[in-house]
Amino acid sequence: MPSSDEEAISRILSAVDEEIAAHGAAIRLADVARRLGVTRQTVYRYFPNADALLIASAMRAVNGFIDQLVEHVSGINDPVTAVVESVAFGVEKLSGDPQLENLLTRRDEGEAVISMTSDTAIAFCLSVFHRFDVDWQLHGFDTVALRELAEITLRTVHSMLTDPGQLPRSGRELRRFVVRWLGAAILYPRLMSLTTHGPATTPGGAGASDAYR
């Protein structure tokens, strides 16, 4: 018996890794339970579905990626800069990771095995956003807006990882591309707030996109 929830989760995810190695990413929760020699209810206690298992397995496979990401954007208060750096950092660090690539691109009966817009994936992204040094409310983000930002961020990273283009971007070029097309969306809640409450200085807005020119 595991001595703690952390040990139980670690054992479950190790079983997930073994299932993926043996049968691919189209795993079932029952298969993981069988490999562990426990009931499905035991696995359900920690993970609601196979999608959650795949996401957790992928995140563990990236070897502390989230901690690295949070450290990378530490001290950045501007939401545009923080999200652009997060997207670019994710694309650069995760590109070429074999397990993550398998999870993101493998399909089962025409459907993606893992959904980057599932409740689990968005909740995970939101938990990362809340570790940033950004005052989301100050910049006009309520619960709905922040959830939508998490969705478009996940969609952007997923797209750039699965189809990087004929000439994959990196470094300053990658950041310039992301800020040009994603930056306005990140500023949108703040701009809407200004139209409602009158003109004011946008915190950090002036220099956000300038940094990538």
Q: What is the mean pLDDT of residues 176-186?
A: 94
pTM, two decimal places? 0.68
Q: What is the mean pLDDT of residues 58-63?
A: 68
When mean pLDDT is compared over 10-14, 28-32, 171-175, 192-196, the highest value belongs to 171-175
What is the reported pLDDT for 201? 47
Q: What is the mean pLDDT of residues 104-133?
A: 73
Share of the chain above pLDDT 70, in %: 79
User: What does the alpha-carbon distance between residue 194 and residue 201 come to, in Å, rounded to a whole number?
Assistant: 9
**Contacts by residues 184-192 (CB-CB < 8 Å, ≥ 24 positions apart):** 185/149, 185/152, 186/79, 186/80, 186/83, 186/84, 186/149, 187/79, 187/80, 188/140, 189/139, 189/140, 189/141, 189/142, 189/145, 190/139, 190/140, 191/140, 192/140
- Helix ranges, the chain (H): 5-23, 29-36, 40-44, 50-61, 65-72, 79-94, 98-105, 119-129, 143-162, 171-197, 205-208
What is the reported pLDDT for 200? 46
Assess whether pLDDT exceeds 80 at residue 107.
no
Q: What is the mean pLDDT of residues 138-149?
A: 94
Question: Tens digits of per-residue pLDDT, 82-103?
Answer: 999 999 998 998 887 666 665 5
- Both structure tokens of 64: 């502390």
Q: What is the mean pLDDT of residues 42-52?
A: 87
Assess whether pLDDT exceeds 80 at residue 1.
no
What is the reported pLDDT for 122? 86
Looking at per-residue pLDDT, the higher value among 55 and 92 belongs to 92
**Class of CATH domain 5-50:** mainly alpha
Region of residue 42 (phi > 0: left; psi between -120 and 50: alpha; otherwise: beta):
alpha
What is the reported pLDDT for 54? 81
User: What does the alpha-carbon distance between residue 108 and residue 25 come to, in Å, rounded to a whole number?
Assistant: 9
What is the reported pLDDT for 115? 67
